[in-house]
A and B are shown apart, each in its own frame.
Chain A
Amino acid sequence: MEKPLASGPAELFARIDDYSVANTAAALSEGIVLTTLDNAVNWARKNSIWPMTFGLACCAIELMAAGASRFDIARFGSEVMRFSPRQSDVMIVAGTVTYKMALAVKRIYDQMAEPKWVIAMGACASTGGMYRSYSVLQGVDHILPVDVYVAGCPPRPEALLDALIKLQNKVAKEPVLSTQKTVPA
Chain B
Amino acid sequence: MNESLINPFTLSHPTAVQTSLFAGATFAKFDPTGRFIASAARLAFSVQIWDLETRAPIRWLDGHVKAITNIDWSRNSRYLLTSSRDWNAIIWDLSSPCDPPQRHGSLRFDAPVVSAYFHPKNSQIILALLATGEAYVCDLRKQNRSRIELLETITDEGIEEEENNGQGVMRSPMTVARFDPTGKNIFVGTASGSILVFNTRTKTMIARHKISGAGAMKGFDFAKSGRRLVSNSSDRTLRQFILPSYSNPPTDTELLEQSQPPFLDLELEPTHRFNDPINRTAWHAMCYSPDGDWLAGGAADPSGHKIYIWDISNDGQLASPLDGGREPLLHLHWHPTRSLLASTTNMGNILIWHHPNPERWGAFAGGFEEVDENVEYEEREDEFDIEDEEVQFQRKMKAEEEEVDIDTIVTGAQAAVLGGLGTLSGNMGGAATPIGTGPSGNYSMDIDKLGSGMGDDIEAAWAEEEPDTDIRGAWKMKVIMDSEEASEYY
Q: Do A and B bind each other?
A: no
Chain A positions near chain B (C-beta within 8 angstroms): none
Chain B positions near chain A (C-beta within 8 angstroms): none
